[in-house]
């Protein structure tokens, strides 16, 4: 069903698996996918008395079911899945690029990356040692569990121990959609100012890890790190907080340590 207006039109989304050939030369396999349309129901039956039925049916049921399937699949294959969420431009792709080049050499990683359009991010992330799939969501403002399930099917996950799911850049809607991840990682960059956690609390509330990115330019921006950290702590006291810069390398050792600590034992 269409998540934008609630109509019964199926939401088309695309999945493209990028095969690393050589820098700049990429072949792509496009797998069209269409979300299942919800079914209209006509009720029938004999006239009966009015009755009241008590229920406990979760309303995101469909997504939650698929997410639970993803989680069981990832755990069964001993793959640590992380859902990376942030506003557009907070540095998710840059962090992942460097992570694949460093951590990815010792531990096999795969990436699923979501954007409304283009496979630019998948191209940036494609490595000979890391399978990457791009999901183009068209107009949908977040990834859902079904998109992730479909894209993972198209990837060869042999030997993969970490799956990074780079969500669509959006600090609002991804908060409500479980993808089946083990860890939800929320990024906030120094260029966004100190108040993001206070302005967009739901997503921070659900974070297992908060990464404060682009610390290398904090001083030039007049960014108040202590205030930002205090704001993260107020909304997300449960989250592990790491300050890092994918450019200078600050904090990356701690980030890789965190990944190692959560790996499933083979």
- In the complex, the residues that contact another protein under the rule CB under 8 A are 1-6, 38-39, 41, 43-62, 172-173, 175-176, 201-202, 204-205, 233-239
Whole-angstrom Cα distance, residue 142 to residue 114?
Answer: 8
Name the strand (E) or helix (H) holding 93.
Answer: helix 92-101
**CB nearer to another protein: pick between 22 and 41:** 41
- To another protein, the closest distance from the beta carbon of 171 in angstroms equals 12
Query: Shortest CA distance to 213 belongs to which of 239, 172, 183, 247?
Result: 247
**CB nearer to another protein: pick between 134 and 206:** 206
Cα 167-174-26 angle, rounded to 5 deg: 15
- To another protein, the closest distance from the beta carbon of 136 in angstroms equals 19
- To another protein, the closest distance from the beta carbon of 14 in angstroms equals 20
DSSP per position, 166-181: E--S-SSGGGG---S-
**CB nearer to another protein: pick between 104 and 197:** 197
Report residue 96 as tokens.
């992942």
Report residue 38 as tokens.
């919800």
- To another protein, the closest distance from the beta carbon of 205 in angstroms equals 6
Using an 8 Å Cβ cutoff, are 154 and 31 in contact?
A: yes
- To another protein, the closest distance from the beta carbon of 82 in angstroms equals 19
**CB nearer to another protein: pick between 59 and 220:** 59
Using an 8 Å Cβ cutoff, are 229 and 197 in contact?
A: no
**CB nearer to another protein: pick between 19 and 234:** 234
């Amino acid at each position: 069903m269409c998540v934008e207006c609630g109509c019964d039109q199926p939401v088309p989304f695309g999945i493209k698996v990028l095969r690393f050939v050589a820098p700049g030369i990429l072949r792509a396999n496009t797998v069209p996918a269409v979300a299942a349309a919800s079914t209209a129901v006509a009720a029938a039956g004999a006239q009966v008395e009015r009755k009241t039925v008590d229920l406990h049916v979760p309303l995101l049921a469909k997504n939650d079911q698929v997410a639970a399937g993803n989680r069981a699949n990832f755990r069964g294959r001993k793959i640590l899945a992380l859902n990376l969420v942030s506003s557009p431009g907070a540095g998710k792709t840059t962090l992942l690029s460097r992570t694949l080049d460093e951590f990815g050499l010792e531990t096999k990683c795969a990436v699923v990356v979501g954007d409304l359009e283009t496979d630019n991010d998948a191209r940036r992330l494609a490595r000979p040692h890391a399978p990457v799939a791009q999901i183009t969501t068209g107009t949908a403002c977040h990834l859902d569990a079904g998109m992730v399930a479909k894209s993972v099917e198209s990837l060869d996950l042999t030997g993969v121990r970490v799956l990074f799911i780079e969500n669509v850049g959006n600090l609002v809607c991804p908060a409500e959609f479980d993808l089946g991840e083990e860890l939800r990682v929320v990024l906030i960059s120094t260029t966004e100012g100190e108040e993001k956690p206070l302005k967009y609390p739901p997503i921070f509330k659900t974070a297992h890890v908060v990464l404060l990115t682009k610390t290398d330019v904090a001083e030039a921006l007049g960014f108040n790190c202590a205030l930002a950290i205090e704001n993260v702590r107020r909304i997300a006291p449960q989250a592990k907080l790491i300050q890092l810069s994918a450019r200078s390398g600050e904090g990356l050792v701690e980030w890789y340590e965190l990944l190692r600590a959560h790996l499933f034992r083979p």
